[in-house]
Structures are given as C-alpha cells and as structure tokens.
C-alpha cells in the first residue's frame, strides 16, 4: 500500500479530503497536513513525518500539494529527495485525489513514478471549459 499525504496552505487539505470522502467513502490511508500562519517548511516536514508514521507506506508515499514552490511542496520535496519511494505532485484537485484513492484499491505493487503521472493526468483531464457561446459550435460539431 502507498500512503497519500495532502499538504496545503490552510485547511484546504482537510476539506478536500472530506469532499473526496463524500464521493468515495472513508479513507484510511490518507492524511491531511496543513500549513498555518507562522509556520514554515521545517514545521511541514515534521508534520509530514508524523503522518508517514501513521500510514501504511510499504510501497511509498505520494504527496499531493496545492501549489508548486510553496512551503508544503518544498517540505515534501526535501523528504522525497532522500527516498525514491516518495513522489510529489503539485496542483492538487479533487479529480486528482479521487484518482489516487481509487489507485490504492487496485493493490500493489505500486510504481510511484506511474502514480505521479496518473495523478497529473487526472488533474489535467479534470479541467474542462464551458461557455454558452460555445454551445452552438459544439452542436454543429455533432452533425
């Protein structure tokens, strides 16, 4: 099993996990780690290490972060730099998290690089556009 750690600025990580659980049910091997005002990367690293200690990480850890270059991301990268079974993906979204909790259900062995690619693709494909002005164009395409 691989652990999922959702690390974000503020309470976003807690709330996105709650949203995921509304769709996928309770998640046992996922943890939220929050960066609150006054904290920095060292605080996040300590919180990450505590979360790792609580999870089944036999096949690695996937850190899902909200923002590239932010303190949650930087702290995750520091940990991942010394462990090849750890991976970091920035740009957290609900489709990405749902895809990763679904991946946990498939059973191992898990390839952290493949999981990272899968998470990034879920984030990309979960981004869609809609505007009323395009409705006519799409209807014409269907003919």
Q: Are strands 3-9 and 61-65 parallel, antiparallel or unpaired?
A: parallel
Structural tokens at position 32: 């939220």
Distance, in Å, from the CA atom of 74 to the CA atom of 55, rounded to the nearest integer, reads 21
Q: Is the dihedral of CA 126, 131, 132, 138 positive or negative?
A: negative
Helix (H) or strand (E) holding 90: strand 86-90
3-state secondary structure of 14: helix
- Active-site entry in 2, 9, 95, 119: 9
Tell me whether residue 63 is exposed, middle or buried, using C-beta atoms within 10 angstroms of its C-beta: 0 to 12, 13 to 18, 19 or more: buried
* Residue 9: active-site member: yes
| Residues identified as active-site | 9
């Amino acid at each position: 099993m691989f652990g999922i750690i959702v690390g974000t600025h503020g309470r976003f990580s807690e709330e996105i996990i709650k949203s995921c659980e509304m769709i996928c049910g309770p998640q046992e091997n996922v943890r939220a780690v929050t960066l609150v005002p006054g904290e920095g990367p060292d605080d996040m690293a300590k919180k990450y290490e505590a979360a790792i200690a609580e999870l089944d990480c036999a096949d690695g850890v996937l850190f899902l972060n909200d923002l590239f270059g932010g303190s949650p991301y930087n702290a995750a990268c520091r940990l991942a730099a010394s462990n090849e079974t750890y991976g970091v993906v920035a740009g957290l979204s609900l489709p990405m998290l749902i895809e990763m909790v679904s991946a946990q259900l498939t059973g191992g062995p898990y390839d952290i690089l493949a999981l990272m690619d899968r998470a990034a693709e879920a984030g990309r494909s979960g981004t869609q556009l809609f505007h009323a002005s395009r409705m006519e164009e799409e209807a014409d395409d269907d003919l």
